[in-house]
Amino acid sequence: MRDAVGTVQSLLVLGGTSEIAAATARRLVADRARRVVLAARDPAGAEPLAGELRSAGATDVEAVRFDATDFDSHRAFVEEVFDRHGDIDCVLVAFGLLGDQDELMRDEAAAVGVVQSNYAGAVSVSVPLVERLRVQGHGTIVYLSSVAGERARKSNFVYGSSKAGLDAFAQGLGDALQGSGVQVMVVRPGFVRTKMTAGLEEAPLATDADAVAEAIATGLRRSADTVWVPAPLRIVMSALRHLPRPVFRRLDI
């Protein structure tokens, strides 16, 4: 349960080796979160962060195995986490794959892998997750969407389409959960300097993982539905979204 001033006390991270997730977990532990479950394909890879969070004051931190594309495992995974750790105030859905657009269009298995991880995986794990959150009667699911889902761009439309699906699912879920005590927050960062974007040319308004974490912490305090990082991207993407297609097509983005 969040404390008297609404601070998150327990956090489940799906994609526990993500740099944005790590920054967010550090930020929430600094804000007095005490129980953290880091779920990752390779739990050993999340151990250094787990140690760091313990040193920062978290009392119950565990790294567990989770694969977004292992759909059959998701229900048992959710049951085990809630049975072992009790109530969860915040679930951060952070896993994701970017891929290289040109390579993805030469390799259908890789393209489907991006969609399965970013979209189908999020839907699959959300179904049992929502069941448990409804039973406990509170909690916020934070989905890391992307501006890439706002309008498909020729430079990354496989990734963008997967984020568009995730974003639409999350929005609909948030509306469906009204009155249940469970909330959804959709986070739409632009270009964030993490290992996902290492070596890529920076986009305008590029930011870092700490800024995303700060925006998530603020959004949680305000019970925001949607968070853009940085905030001016809301205006930029609104303009881009409404550009006529012949004009949009000529942009080098």
Q: Which residues are the active-site residues?
A: 159
| Residue choice 28, 36, 97, 186 for contact with ligand NAP (CB under 6 A) | 97
Which part of the chain contacts ligand NAP (CB under 6 A), choosing from 25-33, 49-57, 170-178, 192-200? Answer: 192-200
Adjacency order of strands within the sheet including 35-40 = 60-65, 35-40, 10-14, 90-93, 139-144, 182-189, 226-229
What whole-number distance in Å separates Cα of residue 138 and Cα of residue 205? 34
C-alpha distances (whole Å) from 10 to each of 2, 15, 42 are: 8, 16, 21
197 binds ligand NAP (CB under 6 A): yes
68 binds ligand NAP (CB under 6 A): yes
67 binds ligand NAP (CB under 6 A): yes
| Residue choice 6, 45, 57, 181 for contact with ligand NAP (CB under 6 A) | 45
Longest dimension (CA), the chain: 55
Q: Before 189, cis peptide (omega within 30)?
A: no
Which part of the chain contacts ligand NAP (CB under 6 A), choosing from 37-45, 47-55, 232-240, 244-252? Answer: 37-45
At its nearest, how many Å lie between ligand NAP and the CB of residue 6? 24
Q: Which is nearer to ligand NAP, 9 or 117 (CB)?
A: 117
What one-character DSSP code corresponds to residue 203?
Answer: P
Each residue 148-187 as x (binds ligand NAP by CB under 6 A) or -, in order, gives: ----------------------------------------
- Would you state the torsion angle of the CA atoms of residues 23, 126, 233, 225, taken in this order, to the nearest 10 degrees? -100
Segment 101 to 130, residues that bind ligand NAP, using CB under 6 A: 117, 121
| Residue choice 10, 124, 126, 146 for contact with ligand NAP (CB under 6 A) | 146
192 binds ligand NAP (CB under 6 A): yes
At its nearest, how many Å lie between ligand NAP and the CB of residue 4? 31
Q: Which distant-in-sequence residues (6+ apart) come within 8 Å of 42 by Cβ?
A: 17, 65
Judge whether 215 and 187 are in contact, CB under 8 Å. yes
Q: How far apart, in Å, do the first and last CA atoms of the chain sit? A: 43
96 binds ligand NAP (CB under 6 A): yes
| Residue choice 41, 65, 138, 234 for contact with ligand NAP (CB under 6 A) | 41
Q: Which distant-in-sequence residues (6+ apart) come within 8 Å of 70 by Cβ?
A: none
At its nearest, how many Å lie between ligand NAP and the CB of residue 121? 6
Q: E strands, the chain, where?
A: 10-14, 35-40, 60-65, 90-93, 139-144, 182-189, 192-193, 207-208, 226-229
Binding site for ligand NAP (CB under 6 A): 15, 17-20, 40-42, 45, 66-69, 94-97, 117, 121, 144, 146, 189, 191-192, 194-197
